[in-house]
C-alpha cells in the first residue's frame, strides 16, 4: 500500500490563504508525488498547431517525467502516444521535434504508422497479434490553433474551457502564425515556487522595471475592471467585438485587459514589436489577452505577437522554463520586426524571475521558514494556484486510499 500520510499531513497543515508548508517545496518524495498527482492528471499546453506542419511532424517531450510524443497523421489529425515501444519499452523518439514517415523503434525496429498501429515486428511468429500491440494513446485536444495533452485516462472536462476561451483566442489567428523564437532557462527552485512567482505582480514594482512600463502592475485578481481607463478599454473592446471579460474555472483563467495608457504592446517602450499584426482588429491596439492553465503556464497575446511561458519540473529544486514567441507567419525578421526588440522584455523579465525564485528557494529551505500570508489584493492568483494544488493533491490521495482499501473491503465482505 502507498503511504502518502506525511504528504497528506503537510497538505492539511497549510493555513488558509498562506504559502505551503516547507516539505511541499523541498522534499524529493513530494516532487515524485506531484508528477503523478498533478502533472499526469492535468491538461498541459504544449504549443501550437503550426509546430506540426504536415503529416509525420512530431514533438517528443516529457510530461511529469513521462515521455510522450504528439504527431500529425496522414489524415491531418494530431494524436498523442506514450513514447515507449510496445515490445520491451524502448523510447521511440528522442526529445525534440522532427518529422517521420513512420515510427521505428531504434532497438529492435518494431515499426508503427502515424496512427500508432504496429505494422512491422520481425520474427514474432505466426501466432503474434500485431493489432494488440499498437502504441498506447494519450488524450490530445486542439483549440483555435493551440495544442493540449493529458495523460490521465479520465482527464478534466475540456468543454468549458473550449466554450469560454475559444472565442477569446480566435481573433489572434494562431493557425497563421509561426514560432519566431524559443528560449529555455533552468531555475534552481521547486516548480511550485516558480509558478507562485508567475501568478503575481506584487514584486513587479521593485523587481521588473522594464515590465512596469507597459504592464498594469497594480491590477487586481483576474484583471477585473476597477478604473476609468479599464472601463473605457472594456467599452472599446465590446464595440470591436473582442470578448474579454474574465472567465475561469478551477484549472484555467483568461481575460483581456488594457496595457498602461499609451501602450499597444508588451515591449520595452510599449510600441509594436511587429508591424505585420496577428490580430488586425482595432489596428492591433487591443491590450493583452492573458490565458493561463494550472499547473504550468501563462500566455500573453497582444495585437502583434504572443508570448508563451511554460514551467516544466525537472527535479525537486530544478525547473525548466520554456518561452515561445509567436508572430504572423508572413512577418519577416529585419523587415517587419527587430528580433532583439521582440524578445528583450520577456528575456529580461524571465532572468529577473529566475533570480527571485532561486532566492525564494534558499529562504524556504531555512529551518526558520514558516508559511506566510498572501496579500488578498496582490496575490489572489497565487492563493488560487496553491489552493488548486492542495485540492488536487488531496483528491489524488483520496483515490489512492480508496483503491488500496478496496481489496480489503472485498475480503471482509467475503
CA distances in angstroms from 208 to 198, 219, 319, 348, listed in the order given: 12, 15, 21, 8
**218 and 125, same structural domain?**
no
pLDDT recorded at residue 406: 61
pLDDT at residue number 410: 54
Please check whether residues 176 and 227 belong to one and the same domain: yes
Mark whether 308 and 245 lie in a shared domain: yes
Q: What is the pLDDT of residue 255?
A: 96
Please report the pLDDT score of residue 226 as a whole number.
73
160 lies in some domain:
no
Low-confidence ranges of the chain (pLDDT < 50): none
Whether residues 122 and 236 share a domain: the answer is: no
**CA-CA distance, 135 to 137, in Å (whole number)?**
6
CA distance 79 to 383: 35
Is there a single domain that holds both residue 120 and residue 176?
no
Query: Does residue 255 fall inside a structural domain?
Result: yes
Q: Coil, strand or helix: which one is 135?
A: coil
CATH code of the domain containing 80 = 2.102.10.10
Name the 3-class secondary structure at 8: helix
How is residue 262 written as a grid cell? 499609451
- Could you tell me if 247 and 332 lie in one domain? yes
- The CATH number of residue 298's host domain is 3.90.380.10
Say yes or no: 200 and 344 in one domain: yes
Same domain, 13 and 68: no
Closest CA to 77 of 41, 106, 113, 104: 113
Please give the sequence-ordered ranges of beta strands (E in DSSP) within 329-371, or none if there are none.
Answer: none
Whether 408 maps to a domain, the answer reads: yes
User: Does a structural domain hold residue 9?
Assistant: yes
Q: Let me know if residue 307 belongs to a domain.
A: yes
* DSSP 8-state class, residue 134: P
Query: Are 130 and 180 part of one and the same domain?
Result: no
Provide the angle, in degrees to the nearest 10, between the axes of the packed helices 5-13 and 380-413. 140
Q: Is the pTM of this model over 0.85?
A: yes
Q: How many domains does the chain have?
A: 2
Give domain status of residue 161, yes or no: no
Q: Is 11 helix (H, G, I), strand (E, B) or coil?
A: helix
List the Cα angle 336/341/345 in 5-degree steps.
Answer: 140
188 and 323, same domain (yes or no): yes
List own/partner pairs for 398-403 with CB under 8 A and 24 or more apart. 400/2, 400/4, 401/4
31 and 111 in a single domain? The answer is no
119 has which bridge partners? Answer: none
CB 274 within 8 Å of CB 337: yes
Q: Is 159 inside a domain boundary?
A: no
The answer to whether residues 146 and 182 belong to one domain is: no
The whole domain housing 396 covers: 1-39+171-414
- pLDDT given at position 220: 85
166 lies in a domain? no
Q: How many CB atoms lie within 10 A of CB 7?
A: 22
Amino acid at each position: 500500500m502507498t503511504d502518502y500520510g506525511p504528504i497528506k499531513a503537510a497538505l492539511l497543515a497549510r493555513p488558509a490563504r498562506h504559502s505551503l508548508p516547507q516539505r511541499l517545496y523541498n522534499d524529493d518524495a513530494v516532487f515524485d508525488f506531484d508528477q503523478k498527482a498533478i502533472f499526469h492528471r492535468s491538461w498541459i499546453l504544449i504549443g501550437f498547431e503550426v509546430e506540426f506542419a504536415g503529416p509525420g511532424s512530431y514533438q517528443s517531450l516529457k510530461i511529469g517525467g513521462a515521455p510522450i510524443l504528439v504527431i500529425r497523421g496522414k489524415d491531418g489529425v494530431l494524436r498523442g502516444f506514450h513514447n515507449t515501444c510496445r515490445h520491451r519499452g524502448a523510447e521511440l523518439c528522442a526529445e525534440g521535434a522532427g518529422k517521420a514517415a513512420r515510427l521505428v523503434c531504434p532497438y529492435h525496429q518494431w515499426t508503427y504508422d502515424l496512427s500508432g498501429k504496429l505494422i512491422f515486428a520481425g520474427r514474432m511468429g505466426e501466432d503474434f497479434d500485431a493489432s494488440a500491440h499498437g502504441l498506447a494513446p494519450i488524450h490530445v485536444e486542439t483549440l483555435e490553433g493551440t495544442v493540449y495533452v493529458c495523460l490521465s485516462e479520465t482527464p478534466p472536462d475540456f468543454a468549458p474551457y473550449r466554450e469560454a476561451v475559444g472565442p477569446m483566442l480566435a481573433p489572434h489567428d494562431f493557425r497563421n502564425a509561426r514560432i519566431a523564437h524559443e528560449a529555455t532557462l533552468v531555475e534552481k527552485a521547486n516548480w511550485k515556487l516558480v509558478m507562485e512567482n508567475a501568478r503575481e505582480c506584487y514584486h513587479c514594482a521593485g523587481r521588473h522595471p522594464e515590465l512596469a512600463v507597459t504592464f498594469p502592475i497594480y491590477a487586481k485578481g483576474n484583471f477585473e475592471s476597477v478604473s476609468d481607463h479599464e472601463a473605457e478599454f472594456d467599452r472599446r473592446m465590446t464595440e470591436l467585438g473582442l470578448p474579454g471579460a474574465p472567465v475561469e474555472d478551477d484549472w484555467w483563467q483568461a481575460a483581456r485587459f488594457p496595457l498602461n495608457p499609451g501602450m499597444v504592446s508588451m515591449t520595452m517602450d510599449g510600441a509594436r514589436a511587429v508591424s505585420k499584426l496577428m490580430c488586425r482588429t482595432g489596428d492591433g491596439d487591443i491590450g493583452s489577452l492573458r490565458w493561463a492553465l494550472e499547473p504550468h503556464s501563462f500566455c500573453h497575446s497582444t495585437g502583434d505577437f504572443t508570448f508563451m511561458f511554460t514551467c516544466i519540473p525537472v527535479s525537486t529544486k530544478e525547473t525548466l522554463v520554456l518561452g515561445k514567441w509567436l508572430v504572423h507567419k508572413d512577418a519577416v525578421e529585419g523587415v517587419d520586426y527587430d528580433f532583439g526588440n521582440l524578445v528583450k522584455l520577456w528575456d529580461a523579465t524571465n532572468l529577473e524571475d529566475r533570480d527571485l525564485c532561486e532566492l525564494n528557494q534558499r529562504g524556504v529551505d531555512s529551518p526558520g521558514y514558516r508559511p506566510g500570508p498572501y496579500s488578498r489584493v496582490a496575490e489572489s492568483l497565487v492563493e488560487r494556484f496553491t489552493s488548486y494544488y492542495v485540492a488536487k493533491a488531496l483528491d489524488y490521495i483520496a483515490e489512492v486510499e480508496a483503491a488500496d482499501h478496496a481489496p480489503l473491503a472485498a475480503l471482509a465482505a467475503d
